[in-house]
Amino acid sequence: MRISEKVAEVINQQIHHELTASYTYLGMAAYFDAEGLGGFANWFRSHSEEENAHAMRLYEYLAARGVKMGFQALEAPKTDYESAVDVVKAALAHEQKVTDQIKAMFDVVMDAREYTAQPMLHWFLNEQIEEEELFSSVLDQVEAATSRFDLLQLDKELGQRAPSSGASEE
C-alpha cells in the first residue's frame, strides 16, 4: 500500500530524529563511562539501542509500503557535561523534543488522511509518555543525590534496569 509523498518524507525525517536520539544517548553513555558510572552508562546505552529500534520500526513501515529511504548524516553527539544532573536534564529535554516531532508527524499524517499510519503513531505517542515520565523520575533521583555515595547507589540501580517498552510491542 502506497502512502503520500508528504507522509513518507515526514516519516523519513523521524527516522533521522530517532537515529539522532540513539547517537545522543550513546554520547551520554560515553560521558558516564568516563566518570566511572557504569550503571548510568549501561542505562543510556540501552536507551540508545531502543531509539535505534524505533528508527527501524519506522524504516520497516516505509519499506513495507515501497517507499525509498532517504538518509542524512548524523552529527557527533555531545560527550562532555558538567554533571550527571546536566546529562539527565539534557536527556529529558531531548525526549520532550522527540515528543514534539512525533506530534508534528501525526499532524501531517492526519492532514494527508493516511489512516493506516495512525496506529503506529499512537504507539509512538504512548512510548513518549513513558519515556518522559521515566527520564523525569530519574532526573528527580539524580537531583536528590547529595553525595557521591547517593549517586553510586543510583548508578547501581540504573545498571540493573531495563529500558521501557522499546520496539517490542505493537
Digit-coded pLDDT (tens) for 81-132: 999 999 999 999 999 999 999 999 999 999 999 998 999 999 999 999 999 9
Task: Of 78, 96, 75, give the one whose Cα is nearest residue 87.
Answer: 78
Q: Of 72, 106, 73, 78, give the one whose Cα is nearest residue 93.
A: 78
Count: domains in the chain: 1
Contact of 117 with 61, CB cutoff 8 Å: yes
Cell of 94: 531531548
Amino acid at 84: A
List of residues 6+ apart from 168 with CB closer than 8 A: 53
> Alpha helix (H) ranges present in 4-117?
5-34, 38-64, 84-111
Whether the per-residue pLDDT at 52 is higher than 90: the answer is: yes
Can you tell me whether residue 80 is helix, strand or coil?
Answer: coil
DSSP element (H, E) containing 124: helix 118-144
Please indicate, yes or no, if residue 62 is contained in any of the structural domains. yes
Residue 123 lies in a domain: yes
Q: Residue 112 domain-assigned? A: yes
Band the pLDDT of 65: cuts 50, 70, 90: very high
What cell does 125 get?
Answer: 505517542
Residue 167 lies in a domain: no
Within-domain flag for 119: yes
pLDDT score for 165: 46
Short-list 22, 19, 9, CA closest to 117: 9
Residue 69: its H or E element: none
Look at residue 170 and tell me if it is in a domain: no
Domain residue limits at 117:
5-160
**pTM, 2 dp:** 0.90
Residue 169: its pLDDT value, please?
42
**Domain of 93: which CATH number?**
1.20.1260.10
Asked if residue 169 belongs to a domain, the reply is no
In a domain, 65, yes or no: yes
Given this model, what pLDDT does residue 160 score?
85
Q: If pLDDT is split at 50, 70 and 90, which confidence band does 163 have?
A: low
